[in-house]
Structure 1
Amino acid sequence: MQDLKLRTKRFAVDCWQLCAKIPKSRELDAWVRQLIRCSSSIGANYRASQRAKSTADFINKLKIVEEEADETIYWLELFLEVLDINHEEMKRLKIESEELLAITVASIKTTRRNHKK
C-alpha cells in the first residue's frame, strides 16, 4: 500500500520538523530524541512489514508499528503538557499518530482473522 508508506514517511518528517522548533534544553532534548526515534520507526517498520517473509513476520512488524505509534502519542502528550508552543501542530500530529495506530491495529486483526481461515 504505497499511500501508507508515503503517509508514515511524511509523518516522520513532520515530527522531525516539529522537534526542530522545540527549545533546546537538557530535559527537552531527551524527549525530542525519543519522539524522533519512535515517529520515524513507524514508517521504517511499516516498510519492513511490506517485505515480510511470512504472515507471522508481517504481524510481528506491524506490532512494532503499533508500539511505536503508541509511544509517539505518549511523547506528544508530554510536549502538549509542558510546552506553550506549537500546540496546533502537536495536536495534529497526535491525531495522525492515533489514526496510524488505529489503521495498524485493524490490519493486525484482519490479518489474524484471514490467517485462521
Structure 2
Amino acid sequence: MKIRVYYEDTDVGGVVFYANYLKFCERARSEAFFERGLSPVMQNGHFVVKELTASYNSSAKLGDILHVKTSLVELKKVSFKLHQEVYRDEEKLFEMDITLAFVDFNGKIKKLEPQNIEVLNLLFV
C-alpha cells in the first residue's frame, strides 16, 4: 500500500513522528481488507494487538511516498503474526512484527473460525 506523508504526520522539522509508522502499518492492514470488499471487523469479532516489536532505520519526510509491505509469518488458533516493512523507494525505513489476537465483541479471546483463517491467508500472502 502506498502512503504519502502529509504535514500532519510530521514534526516541525518535517520528519515523520515515530508513532505514525504504527498508524501507516495499521492503515495497510485495514486497506488489505477494504480492497477486497471486506472489513477487519468480522461478524463474530475483530482483531486486537497483543504484541509488537519495532525497528526504526531511517526517517521519512514531508511529501515522501511510502510503501508498506505486509506478510503473514504465523497463524495460530486465536492469533496471527505479521511482518510489516515501510519503504521509501528501495530504502527500508521501518519494520515491525505484530501479533494480533481475535476477540469477540465482549473482548474475550476467541478461536479463529475456518472462514477467518481463509480470509487471513488470502489477504496476507
TM > 0.5: no
Please state which structure has a larger fraction of its residues in strand: 2
TM-score, normalised to structure 1, is: 0.30
TM-score, normalised to structure 2, is: 0.28
Please state which structure has a larger fraction of its residues in helix: 1
